[in-house]
Amino acid sequence: MDAELVATPYCVVSDWTFRAIWGAVVALHVVLAAYAGAVAQLFVYMPRHTPRIVAIAELYSLTVDRRFFPLIAAGYAVVASVHAGSLLEILVASLRSRSLRFSGASSSSTSSSSRPPAAASPGSRAKFCALRWLPGRAQAASTPECRASSSSSSFSRVHSYTASVRVLVSAWSVTDPHYDTAHVVREVVETVLLSLQAHKASYLVAVPWMNHALAALLVLNCWSTPLIRRAFGRSSVFTARLLSLAVGVALGAVSFGVIPVALFLPYAADFDPALASFANRFWYTDRWLVGILNEWRMLFVTSLWDGVSRFLIAATLARSLRAMPSLLLRRRPRPRSRAKLHPQTQTQPQPLGPSPSVLGLKPTPAALPPPRATRLDRLGRGLLTLWGAVVVAVHLHAASHGANELCMTQVRPWLARRAACSLMEINCARDNGAHVGDGRAADFDRAMASVDRQWVAFLIVRHCAHVELTPTFRELRNLQGVKLYNATLARWDADAALTQQHHPNAMLVFLVATNMTALPRGLLARDFPRRLMDIEICRSNLSVLPDAVADAWPRDLFLLLEDLQLAAVPDVVARLQPSSLSLAMNAFSTLPAALLEGPSLSWLQLNGNPLAALPADVRVASPLQFLFLDGTRVAALPPWLDLSRVFRIQAAGTPLCDALRRDNRSHALLSGVVRCPEGAADRRHLYNFPLADEERNNP
């Protein structure tokens, strides 16, 4: 019996161990199928029902264009169908056999490896000679059979090459004798992909346990294969393979599903179904905004490479789950009564899945000894061991940095030299030991010197009476956003300008309750960041928007110019061709038609202006989908506005809403589009930027 088990290409497990493995595999298939199916449905649902969320994700370059969402959904649907198919196969096989099984194919109680190998045929000899194409199989070429084969006809040589390809493919099968070498190669590739994901999470995700979990699993993935091989040696090859697959499944499941779900759930809790979005304050709460800019990159697909790496991890996970049962052999308990009557009867282990021939797998012949490690195998294991040590070192180094008073949200990048702030706040009204003064040049440089400037993603300056941004500002290579609140901007010159060269990831600028007599030169560089698509200026004494912004700022902006007391809409605004525009709480009474003829203007907010009517001479069909007229004097909508394309019009506190309330029947079409919510015309609600709630949202 023991000799048979040693020769068997299976890992023999007890009945209870098998039940546990069966339950774990079934549970993983259920969870992964449900997760992939839900993500696929989400990518179909969002463009249709949550357009604002998708628009903001595109605005901040957090995802690929929505045109690719159906392709992404199809990819996740394929992943879900693979797991669902595997689950169905397991359940059908178990129901038919009335016992727990992984497949319905039958196999004998003794494995094929226990039978002596048949005589070698010419085809098998050609396949054996083809082994010389794989690492560690060069010795096969020196046999007399191979030398004879090399002098055979051209047909035999073609057949030999074909057999080489088949051998290369079979080496990836978990029951192949030389699977270990192929597995190490795959482990190296997986480690590269997972290392990129773990490093990305180290500077994007500010949740310590997630980074610790990813680093620990990555190290386990690197060290598990060498440790398992050393622990089991050549005596339990298939047990070692089974454990290696289990470690890979755990790491793949965490990377593919657990981390994204853990990041998604807090945002799902704040989602407002009535708005088909999040409340407006959500987008302007600094900590949430930093989370959006960083963590949503782990949720959405940001590039072709990102998508390929995710689906490679998913494919490897699905393949490993299907391969694990083919290594198992179930030892059934021996009936006691029969054991007493027939002591010579011995219980034969039962294979858990189909026979290797049915699966297309190549069982290990008993005549062949367990394979020796090839040079490629040893090199791969050495690289994995070394890289695991490197990951441990850099992760411990990153975790060793203490807290910093200026870090509102701290991350721990692997190669950070000092404390790294994802969200850094210089608050001149808060005595937190940082000694930021009133924001002058020396104060600014001293604050920047206390952190690792390379990793600052969002810089906020609050309650400072004399803000001076120095050339040190150019060293913020990963800067995504800048916000000034309740401050006087004394200097932001060209030597500290936002540029594509120094700030390639910059995406937003907020100047809120900021005293400045002119737009700073730091926002007028010709080399303006190409991804900076969100510029918001709210409550300022800025009275002129210079024409230079048309040459510096990109098109399709989200542009907010609120409470600037503009007596007229600057002509340069129409030249900018923004996609979203808020001119709320200004003083203009007319709107230029050229502004509404913009090719991409889909969201327009005009709240709180003494505007009596929208222009009637718009010659180009407007792509407007959202229009906000709360607190204006608008009494009617112009005929050029296509109500069938408009998603929402809001006009609380206007003559238009008064007319709809008096005679709702004669304005049935308008009533289905125009909304007149109570309280929306209150002054605090007329701003898009929640100025009245700033102190509460960001204490």
Mean pLDDT of all residues belonging to the chain: 83
Cα 396 to Cα 176: distance, rounded to the nearest angstrom: 39
pLDDT value at residue 247: 85
pLDDT value at residue 114: 37
Residue type at 588 in one-letter notation: F
Alpha-carbon dihedral angle through residues 276, 277, 278, 283, given to the nearest 10 degrees: -160
pLDDT value at residue 161: 52
Higher pLDDT, 134 or 45: 45
Cα 497 to Cα 157: distance, rounded to the nearest angstrom: 68
Question: Is the pLDDT assigned to residue 379 strictly greater than 90?
Answer: no
Residues 53-63: pLDDT tens digits?
A: 998 999 899 99
Token pair 């989908």: residue:
625
Q: Are the C-beta atoms of residues 561 and 540 closer than 8 Å to each other?
A: no
Q: What is the DSSP string of 456-509?
A: --EEEEES-SSEEE-GGGGG-TT--EEEEEEEEEEEE-GGG---TTT-TT--EE
Q: How confident is the model at residue 36 (pLDDT cuts 50, 70, 90)?
A: very high
Question: Is the pLDDT assigned to residue 52 strictly greater than 50?
Answer: yes
Residue spans of the domains in the chain: they are: 10-106+122-334+373-391, 411-532, 557-699
Residues 400-438: pLDDT tens digits?
A: 988 899 999 999 999 899 999 999 999 999 865 567 889
H/E element, 532 = none
Q: What is the DSSP string of 335-362?
A: PHHHHHH-TT--PPPEESS--HHHHT--
Q: What contacts 24+ positions apart, CB below 8 Å, involve 21-27?
A: 21/324, 21/325, 21/328, 22/90, 22/100, 22/102, 25/90, 25/102, 25/321, 25/324, 25/325, 26/87, 26/90, 26/91
Q: Are the C-beta atoms of residues 79 and 60 closer than 8 Å to each other?
A: no
Which residues have C-beta within 8 Å of that of residue 11, sequence separation ≥ 6? 236, 238, 239, 241, 242, 327, 328, 329
Residue type at 177 in one-letter notation: P
Q: How confident is the model at residue 377 (pLDDT cuts 50, 70, 90)?
A: confident
**pLDDT mean over 547-562:** 95
DSSP 620: S
Tokens linked to 557:
């902006």
Token pair 């994204």: residue:
260
Q: How confident is the model at residue 371 (pLDDT cuts 50, 70, 90)?
A: low
Crossing angle of the two packed helices 208-232 and 259-270, in degrees rounded to 10? 160
Cα 673 to Cα 128: distance, rounded to the nearest angstrom: 75
Radius of gyration of the chain (CA): 33
Question: Is the pLDDT assigned to residue 503 strictly greater than 90?
Answer: yes
Question: Is the pLDDT assigned to residue 378 strictly greater than 60?
Answer: yes
Bridge partners (DSSP) listed for residue 483: 460, 510
Q: Are the C-beta atoms of residues 477 and 500 closer than 8 Å to each other?
A: no
Question: Is the pLDDT assigned to residue 618 strictly greater than 70?
Answer: yes
Cα 398 to Cα 407: distance, rounded to the nearest angstrom: 15
pLDDT value at residue 362: 45
Q: What is the DSSP string of 179-232?
A: HHHHHHHHHHHHHHHHHHHHHHHHHH---HHHHHHHHHHHHHHHHHHHHHHHHH
pLDDT value at residue 237: 74
pLDDT value at residue 453: 95
Question: Is the pLDDT assigned to residue 151 strictly greater than 80?
Answer: no
Residue type at 451 in one-letter notation: V
pLDDT value at residue 168: 47
Higher pLDDT, 447 or 172: 447
Question: Is the pLDDT assigned to residue 449 strictly greater than 50?
Answer: yes
CATH topology of domain 557-699: 3.80.10
pLDDT value at residue 113: 36
pLDDT value at residue 197: 86
Cα 597 to Cα 446: distance, rounded to the nearest angstrom: 48
- Largest Cα separation within the chain, whole Å, is 105
Q: How confident is the model at residue 150 (pLDDT cuts 50, 70, 90)?
A: very low
pLDDT value at residue 454: 93
Higher pLDDT, 6 or 450: 450
Percent of the chain predicted with pLDDT > 70: 79
Distance of CA 417 to the CA centre of its chain: 26
Q: Are the C-beta atoms of residues 328 and 18 closer than 8 Å to each other?
A: yes
pLDDT value at residue 156: 56
Map residue 563 onto helix, strand or coil: coil
Question: Is the pLDDT assigned to residue 235 strictly greater than 60?
Answer: no
pLDDT value at residue 370: 52
Question: In 271-344, where does DSSP find H-type helix?
Answer: 280-283, 286-299, 304-323, 336-341
pLDDT value at residue 117: 39
Q: How many CB atoms lie within 10 A of CB 402?
A: 7
Cα 94 to Cα 269: distance, rounded to the nearest angstrom: 39
**pLDDT mean over 369-394:** 82
Tokens linked to 436:
């930021």
pLDDT value at residue 484: 98
**Burial of residue 300, with CB atoms counted within 10 A of its CB: 0-12 exposed, 13-18 middle, 19 or more buried:** buried
Lowest mean pLDDT among 152-161, 359-368, 374-383, 624-633: 359-368
pLDDT value at residue 126: 45
pLDDT value at residue 548: 94
pLDDT value at residue 226: 78
CA end-to-end span of the chain: 73
Cα 74 to Cα 68: distance, rounded to the nearest angstrom: 10
Token pair 């949740």: residue:
207
Question: Is the pLDDT assigned to residue 13 strictly greater than 90?
Answer: no
Question: Is the pLDDT assigned to residue 10 strictly greater than 60?
Answer: yes
Cα 507 to Cα 530: distance, rounded to the nearest angstrom: 8
Q: Which of 207-221, 424-438, 499-513 has the highest mean pLDDT?
A: 499-513
pLDDT value at residue 95: 94
Q: How confident is the model at residue 666 (pLDDT cuts 50, 70, 90)?
A: low
Map residue 46 onto helix, strand or coil: helix
Q: Are the C-beta atoms of residues 613 and 639 closer than 8 Å to each other?
A: no
Residue type at 145 in one-letter notation: E
Cα 88 to Cα 438: distance, rounded to the nearest angstrom: 67
**pLDDT mean over 344-354:** 50
pLDDT value at residue 174: 61
Which residues have C-beta within 8 Å of that of residue 74, sequence separation ≥ 6? 40
**pLDDT mean over 428-452:** 86
Higher pLDDT, 114 or 84: 84
Question: Is the pLDDT assigned to residue 372 strictly greater than 80?
Answer: no
Picking from 562, 558, 574, 530, the residue whose alpha carbon sits closest to that of residue 626 is 558
**pLDDT mean over 561-587:** 95
Higher pLDDT, 186 or 519: 519
pLDDT value at residue 508: 96
In b/e form, how buried is each residue of 215-254, taking b as 16+ CB within 10 angstroms?
bbbbbebbbbbbbbbeeeeeebbbbbbbbbbbbbbbbbbb
Phi-psi label, residue 268: left if phi above 0, alpha if psi -120 to 50, beta otherwise: alpha
Question: Is the pLDDT assigned to residue 119 strictly greater than 80?
Answer: no
pLDDT value at residue 611: 96
